[in-house]
């Protein structure tokens, strides 16, 4: 009898829990779990959409094709170049800004808010603005550079030779404020006591920074770098709007490479619908990004041992 009551209570409590969880759980299952399984399934199929008939099982063909696809590996290389350059510029700039702007000084809170502004804006809309700014003949950047005599010929910012640089500039613009805020949070966790005692021991500001601030920032720097790596590998909005991966794939990144088998990159561009192959590309993308993250975590652990 008692058991019966306990059982009823147990069922009721579980039902209550699930009633609270359900709205999110449904969203999670439909929009997060289901697409992953869909993608993993279609890695093994050839499928071109309703019009081209039923999906055909092709085993590992799609994955083999990914490894032989020279254009795909070019997009992987581009992604590494893009991510590397973005991180190389963003992180030091963000660190210096955090260091200077976290000092209790008049105006610093205001400057922090200003530097953070790009983070809240649409990267697609700003991609369009940068597209206008960097336009060869009509863009304001070239107008200024020509007007002041710094250059005599307009620079083709979005051409084959410079498109990647322009993309990185745009990405740095959008990213600095974000990482600055992370660094400021890290700096606030460093105890005043440590800094104080270093100062009492006669360390100057540069020494305090080098021997106290930077080592104590270590753990948070690790997180910041990891976040910046994962973000840089999935960046796609700006590329899509600014360069569309071009010219001639000079800025094709791996996220966009997978995308183009499913959807048009720009209005009016033709898609060769290859859902199976696109799924394979995306899966390999996720594996590469995951491997880079793991490699980085291993490497940063090694560094811990050295220090």
Cβ proximity to another protein, 47 vs 58, nearer residue: 47
Cβ proximity to another protein, 78 vs 285, nearer residue: 285
Least distance in Å: CB of 34 to another protein? 6
Least distance in Å: CB of 243 to another protein? 12
C-beta separation of 239 from 258 below 8 A: no
Is residue 239 near another protein by the rule CB under 8 A?
no
Is residue 83 near another protein by the rule CB under 8 A?
no
Identify the residue among 1, 51, 70, 117 touching another protein (CB under 8 A). 117
Binding mask 271-290 for another protein (x = CB under 8 A): ----x--xx--xx-xx--xx
Is residue 122 near another protein by the rule CB under 8 A?
yes
Is residue 113 near another protein by the rule CB under 8 A?
yes
Least distance in Å: CB of 206 to another protein? 9
Binding segment for another protein (CB under 8 A), chosen from 54-62, 125-133, 157-165, 207-215, is 125-133
Q: How many of the other CB atoms lie within 10 Å of CB of 209?
A: 15
Is residue 152 near another protein by the rule CB under 8 A?
no
Separation CA 45–CA 35 (nearest Å): 15
Identify the residue among 220, 246, 247, 300 touching another protein (CB under 8 A). 220
Cβ proximity to another protein, 80 vs 116, nearer residue: 116
Cα–Cα separations (whole angstroms), residue 162 to 30, 207, 220, 248: 42, 39, 34, 13
Is residue 128 near another protein by the rule CB under 8 A?
yes
Is residue 118 near another protein by the rule CB under 8 A?
yes
Cβ proximity to another protein, 213 vs 283, nearer residue: 283
Q: Which of 230, 258, 256 is nearest to 245 (CA)?
A: 256
Separation CA 117–CA 224 (nearest Å): 19
Binding mask 28-67 for another protein (x = CB under 8 A): x-xxxxxxx-xx----------------------------
């Amino acid at each position: 009898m008692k058991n019966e009551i306990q059982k009823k209570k147990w069922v009721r409590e579980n039902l209550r829990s699930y009633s609270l969880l359900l709205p999110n759980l449904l969203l999670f299952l439909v929009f997060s779990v289901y697409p992953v399984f869909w993608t993993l399934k279609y890695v093994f199929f050839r499928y071109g959409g309703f019009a081209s008939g039923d999906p055909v099982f092709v085993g590992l063909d799609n994955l083999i094709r990914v490894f032989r696809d020279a254009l795909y590996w070019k997009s992987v290389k581009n992604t590494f170049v893009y991510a590397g350059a973005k991180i190389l510029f963003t992180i030091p700039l963000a660190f210096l800004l955090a260091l200077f702007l976290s000092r209790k000084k008049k105006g610093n809170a205001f400057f922090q808010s200003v530097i953070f502004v790009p983070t809240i804006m649409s990267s697609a809309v700003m991609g369009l603005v940068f597209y206008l700014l960097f336009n060869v003949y009509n863009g304001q950047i070239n107008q200024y550079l020509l007007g002041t005599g710094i250059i005599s010929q307009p620079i083709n910012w979005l051409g084959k030779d410079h498109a990647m640089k322009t993309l990185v500039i745009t990405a740095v613009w959008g990213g600095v404020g974000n990482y600055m805020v992370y660094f400021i949070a890290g700096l606030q966790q460093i105890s005043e006591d440590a800094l104080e005692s270093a100062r009492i021991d006669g360390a100057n500001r540069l020494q305090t920074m080098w021997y106290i601030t930077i080592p104590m920032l270590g753990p948070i720097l690790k997180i910041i770098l990891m976040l910046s790596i994962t973000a840089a590998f999935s960046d796609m909005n700006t590329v899509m709007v600014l360069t569309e991966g071009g010219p001639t794939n000079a800025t094709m990144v791996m996220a966009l490479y997978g995308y183009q088998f499913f959807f048009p990159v720009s209005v009016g561009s033709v898609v060769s619908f290859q859902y199976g192959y696109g799924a394979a590309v995306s899966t390999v993308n996720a594996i590469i990004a995951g491997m880079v993250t793991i490699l980085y975590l291993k490497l940063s652990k090694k560094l811990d041992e050295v220090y």
